């Protein structure tokens, strides 16, 4: 597959992943599937990660990758002074931005999983009752969270989804960085040949 076709394929994969991560983070605002009265009772990590990292910062690179189909051999976006090589170089920059966004979401999700959710504890205060991921191996500890009901599996499932989505997005963006650099150096074989083709790229 040529560099332009590979980029479009990656863009088409990143779009649903970004939407999936966005929805997963939105659901985190409803711990246990319920609306809470005070936003201070939400885990800090809910406000970051999926919406920004795996969502917004991933949409732009994906659209750039998909937009490469509108670029011909001699120009991009109707500008004949801009060729495929420049378009692929631009996609590399956006891929790097996407990688950072996905990495941010990945780290935030990992921290939240290790930290556990914020919940109402036995002393009738809201806080984080778990330490260093101890609840991951001992389901009996989940009872430390009295409210919201089922907040532990809810947060664990959704942040795990964001962790996986962020990891996949990082891999795809890393692939596009390499692919974009190849396209910058060699051009797009679909247009004019790769690495020494017969026409301008």
Query: How does pLDDT run across 6-22, given as a tens digit for each residue?
Result: 778 888 888 999 898 88
Mean pLDDT along residues 174-181? 88
Rounded Cα distance, 115 and 118, in Å? 9
CA 41 to chain centre: 25
pLDDT, mean over the chain: 81
Residue 200: pLDDT over 50:
no
Q: What is the pTM of this model?
A: 0.80
Q: What φ, ψ does residue 89 adopt, rounded to 5°? A: -65, -40
Taking a C-beta distance cutoff of 8 angstroms, is the pair 56, 2 a contact?
A: no
Q: What is the mean pLDDT of residues 24-52?
A: 84
What confidence tier does 53 reach under pLDDT thresholds 50, 70, 90? Answer: confident
Are the C-beta atoms of residues 130 and 69 closer than 8 Å to each other?
Answer: no
The residue among 19, 28, 20 whose CA lies nearest residue 47 is 28
């Amino acid at each position: 597959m040529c560099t332009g076709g590979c980029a479009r394929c990656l863009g088409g994969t990143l779009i649903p992943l970004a939407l999936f991560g966005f929805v997963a983070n939105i659901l985190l605002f409803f711990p246990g599937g319920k609306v809470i009265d005070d936003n201070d009772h939400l885990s800090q990590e809910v406000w970051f990660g999926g919406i920004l990292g795996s969502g917004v910062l991933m949409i732009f690179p994906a659209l750039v990758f998909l937009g490469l189909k509108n670029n011909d051999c001699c120009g991009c976006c109707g500008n004949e002074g801009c060729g495929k090589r420049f378009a692929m170089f631009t996609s590399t920059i956006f891929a790097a931005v996407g990688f950072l966004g996905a990495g941010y979401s990945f780290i935030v999700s990992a921290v939240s999983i290790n930290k556990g959710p914020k919940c109402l504890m036995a002393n009738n205060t809201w806080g984080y009752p778990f330490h260093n991921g101890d609840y991951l191996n001992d389901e009996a500890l989940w009872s430390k969270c009295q409210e919201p009901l089922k907040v532990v599996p809810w947060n664990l499932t959704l942040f795990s989804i964001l962790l996986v989505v962020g990891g996949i997005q990082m891999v795809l963006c890393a692939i596009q960085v390499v692919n974009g650099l190849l396209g910058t150096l060699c051009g797009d074989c679909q247009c004019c040949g790769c690495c020494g083709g017969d026409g301008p790229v």
